[in-house]
């Protein structure tokens, strides 16, 4: 049975044979590609931004005349996302771009969709079904590199908190496994509290406050997204801060570079998940659908952001230009995730695109760089019967400066 994309291609060939489409671009369609944007967990700034930039790209010429985009939010229950996928496949989806809640639970439904000609592109989180494309920074080592940074700051000794993400998600597991592969090398590092913060500032603030009540003598916090909430919890209990490693929220970057915060004890590094992965995945999907790219790697790596306090530069406009990587607090909320912009991969977008999902006036879709970087194997994360590299959890952004 021919899938939808093949049918549209054959229809285009037939029209070309009659001369009807000779003046039309090669990607012209008799009807739009039906693309579903499938979110699992929602409700934080990161997830909102990833959805908004896909919406903005879909509304940017020439995609605005080529794409029918539908958004579905299924929540944290894998069965709910399975049901959502099934409905999308049955509705004749050409492509599904998704943040998957599980790396394995969705596989059977994904395979059924692939067999019917549906393209699956996962962003940030990954699946092990080999017919799906994974576009992620997971294999770039956020967990181990930020853990080593925190160990270095603490001199190899101290009580620390682990502020995690969503239970059962491949992103959270891989980050935490990487971090613990470093912390376990240092007997002087004690994990005294570990909690799930759902990658959200408010939840992180609440959960960190609970941990502080039980362990007021904490020396450092290793955090996934929501890290600015950890700083707020520390400030709520007094005037002393501790080193915090976290992700890419605007509030965190401004705090790290603030001399007053530094004087209170704040040190750290801003790294972590770029919301830009969703836009990169969407553009790759469209290049595959429109036959502009023959994409061989199924696991594609997005670079790991790594911004030290001394390298934080506030932008004057609404884009990442001239090396800037944060925005004035008057422009965006503290929870705004700065790495939603990418001048190379996503030059069509601005800060406003990430906030409200609107296209930039006058922008047109720009081609992606020809080369894509294939991601390393991560068993149980982006592949099933595979072997991980021998140095899978070796930090490379930062060298150990204390003995273990």
Residue 362, domain member (yes or no): no
Residue 396, domain member (yes or no): no
Residue 317, domain member (yes or no): no
127 in the same domain as 73: yes
Residue 382, domain member (yes or no): no
* Residue 172 and residue 166 in contact, taking contact as beta carbons nearer than 8 Å: yes
End-to-end CA distance of the chain: 60
Q: What is the count of structural domains for the chain?
A: 2
Residue 327, domain member (yes or no): no
Domain boundary (248, 270, 292) is at: 270
Residue 228, domain member (yes or no): yes
239 in the same domain as 296: no
Residue 246, domain member (yes or no): yes
Among candidate residues 77, 41, 71, 47, the one with its CA nearest the CA of residue 59: 71
Angle made by CA atoms 402, 185, 264, in degrees to the nearest 5: 55
Return the pLDDT at 2.
Answer: 44
264 in the same domain as 156: yes
- pTM of the predicted model, to two decimals? 0.87
* Residue 84 and residue 57 in contact, taking contact as beta carbons nearer than 8 Å: no
Per-residue pLDDT of the chain (404 residues; tens, 9 = 90+): 444 444 444 333 333 333 333 233 344 456 899 999 999 877 788 999 999 999 999 999 999 999 999 999 998 899 999 999 999 999 999 999 999 999 999 999 999 999 999 999 999 999 999 999 999 999 999 999 999 999 999 999 999 999 999 888 878 999 999 999 999 999 999 999 999 999 999 999 999 999 999 999 999 999 999 999 999 999 999 989 999 999 999 999 999 999 999 999 999 999 999 999 999 999 999 999 999 999 999 999 999 999 999 999 999 999 999 999 999 999 999 999 999 999 999 999 999 999 999 999 999 999 999 999 999 999 999 999 999 999 889 999 999 987 77
The Cα–Cα gap between 110 and 88 comes to 11
Residue 115, domain member (yes or no): yes
The Cα–Cα gap between 62 and 65 comes to 6
């Amino acid at each position: 049975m021919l899938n939808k994309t093949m049918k549209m291609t054959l229809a285009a060939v037939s029209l070309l044979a009659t001369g009807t489409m000779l003046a039309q671009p090669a990607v012209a369609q008799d009807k739009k590609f039906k693309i579903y944007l499938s979110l699992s967990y929602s409700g934080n700034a990161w997830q909102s931004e990833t959805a908004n930039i896909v919406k903005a790209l879909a509304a940017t010429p020439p995609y605005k005349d080529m794409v029918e985009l539908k958004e579905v939010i299924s929540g944290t229950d894998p069965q709910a996302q399975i049901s959502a996928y099934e409905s999308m496949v049955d509705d004749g989806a050409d492509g599904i771009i998704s943040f998957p809640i599980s790396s394995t639970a969705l596989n059977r439904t994904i395979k059924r969709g692939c067999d019917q000609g549906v393209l699956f592109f996962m962003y940030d989180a990954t699946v092990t079904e080999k017919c799906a494309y994974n576009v992620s920074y997971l294999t770039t080592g956020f967990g181990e590199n930020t853990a080593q940074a925190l160990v270095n700051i603490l001199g190899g000794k101290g009580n620390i908190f682990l502020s995690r993400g969503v239970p059962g998600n491949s992103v959270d597991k891989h980050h935490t496994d990487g971090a613990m592969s470093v912390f376990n090398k240092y007997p002087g590092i004690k994990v005294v509290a570990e909690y799930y913060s759902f990658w959200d500032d408010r939840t992180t603030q609440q959960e960190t406050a609970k941990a502080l009540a039980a362990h007021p003598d904490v020396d450092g916090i290793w955090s996934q997204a929501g890290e600015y909430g950890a700083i707020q919890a520390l400030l709520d209990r007094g005037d002393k801060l501790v080193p915090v490693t976290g992700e890419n929220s605007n509030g965190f970057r401004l705090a790290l570079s603030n001399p007053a915060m530094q004087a209170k004890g704040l040190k750290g590094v801003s790294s972590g998940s770029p919301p830009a992965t969703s836009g990169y995945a969407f553009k790759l999907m469209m290049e595959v659908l429109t036959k502009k790219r023959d994409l061989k790697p199924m696991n594609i790596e997005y670079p790991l952001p790594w911004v030290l306090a001394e390298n934080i530069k506030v932008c004057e406009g609404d884009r990442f230009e001239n090396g800037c990587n944060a925005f004035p607090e008057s422009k965006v909320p503290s929870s705004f995730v700065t790495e939603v912009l990418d001048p190379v991969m996503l030059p069509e977008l601005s800060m406003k695109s990430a906030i409200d999902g609107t296209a930039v006036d006058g922008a047109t879709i720009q081609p992606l760089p020809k080369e894509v970087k294939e991601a390393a194997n991560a068993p149980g994360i982006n592949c099933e019967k595979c072997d991980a590299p021998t140095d899978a959890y070796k930090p490379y952004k930062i060298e150990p400066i204390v003995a273990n």
